């Protein structure tokens, strides 16, 4: 663990890191909550879905999408909400605080690169306790509502003002 300070950066996905991205995977009990085969996911994205990588020690160790049409897609979306979707950290890098640091870096990243948005929103599966706790710790607030249109059960709707 060392000094306990984990330096994590966020960068837009680029084909240069495709090979690294293809190696990203989560533990089998987490697989239902996120995506696998990141390069394939990236190929199939809509224009409004912007893929990003989480970089740690010079390597891609995680992935997420910023969804610019989130408020149109889900009726719980407030005006000018940007969606955070499919966030994952590779199983070999879990438990080091990487997801926490990446999520804490998101508000300033989004404000800088997507200045039109007022709030970040996401859904997290009710059974995905670790992710839920992580988002709470990073300043996301549970709206108290559940989204029930997901493939693997009800999800908490969470948001964080920008």
Q: 5-45, pLDDT tens digit by residue?
A: 778 999 999 999 999 999 998 777 665 666 667 878 889 99
116-140 pLDDT per residue, tens? 999 999 999 898 898 999 999 999 9
* Helix or strand holding residue 54 (H, E): strand 49-56
DSSP 16: G
| pTM reported for the whole predicted model | 0.88
CB distance 105 to 66 below 8 Å = no
Query: Which three-class secondary structure state does DSSP give residue 30?
Result: helix
């Amino acid at each position: 663990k060392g000094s306990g300070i984990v330096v994590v950066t966020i960068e837009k996905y680029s084909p240069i890191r495709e090979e690294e991205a293809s190696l990203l995977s989560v533990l089998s009990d987490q697989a239902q909550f996120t995506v696998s085969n990141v390069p394939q996911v990236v190929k199939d994205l809509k224009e409004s879905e912007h893929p990003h990588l989480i970089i740690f020690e010079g390597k891609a160790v995680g992935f997420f999408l910023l969804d610019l049409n989130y408020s149109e897609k889900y009726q719980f979306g407030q005006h000018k909400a940007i969606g955070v979707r499919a966030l994952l950290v590779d199983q070999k890098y879990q438990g080091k605080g990487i997801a926490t640091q990446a999520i804490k870096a998101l508000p300033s990243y989004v404000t800088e690169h997507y200045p039109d948005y007022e709030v970040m929103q996401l859904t997290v599966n009710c059974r995905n306790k670790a992710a839920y706790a992580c988002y709470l710790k990073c300043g996301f607030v549970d709206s108290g509502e559940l989204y029930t249109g997901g493939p693997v059960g009800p999800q908490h709707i969470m948001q964080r003002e920008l």
